[in-house]
Amino acid sequence: MKTAQAGTVESMDCLVTVSEAEPGTGIALTLAGSSVARFSRAMEKAVRATLGELKINDMTVLVQDNGALDIVLKARVEAAVSRLNGGEEA
């Protein structure tokens, strides 16, 4: 299974790990980190919105959060997906 990562676990950042999933299995999202208890719904919405914009229906996503704002979470998801797709290196 192909996997890619983007981000860090530094303050105000998050480490996003994405893996390919079988077609039809949908988005499997795991959120970890101290702020998840309070912000899990907003975080899930941000991740799903970003994947939607990238037209991705099936993917396993793990977010290790250290206080990332929405825009950072979205940027990290996009970078991880781009890397998974073998996108342009750098």
Partner 1 sequence: MRLRRTMLYLPGNNPNMLLRGHLFNPDGLVLDLEDAVAVREKDAARILIRDVLKRGEFGSCEVTVRINGLDTEYWRKDLEALVPLGRLDGVRAPKVDDAATVKQLDEALSEIESKAGLEVGRTKIFCLLETARGIFNTYDIATASPRVTAVIPGGEDLTADLRTNRSPEGTELEGIRRNVIVAARAAGVDALDTVFPRITDDEGLRKETSFIKQLGFDGKSVIHPNQIPIIHEVFTPTEKEIERAQKIIAAAKEAAERGLGAVQVDGRMVDAPVVKRALFTLTRAGLLEEGQDNA
Q: Give the footprint of partner 1 on this chain (CB under 8 A).
A: 6-8, 10-13, 68-69, 71-72, 74-76, 78-79, 82-83, 87-90
Nearest to 6 by CA among 56, 67, 72, 57: 72
Give 7 or 33: the residue with its C-beta nearer to partner 1: 7
Query: Cβ atoms within 10 A of the Cβ of 14, count?
Result: 26
CB of 11 to partner 1, least distance (A): 5
Give 26 or 66: the residue with its C-beta nearer to partner 1: 66
Give 26 or 32: the residue with its C-beta nearer to partner 1: 32
Tokens of 57: 């229906």
Bin 17: left if φ > 0, else alpha if -120 < ψ < 50, else beta. Answer: beta
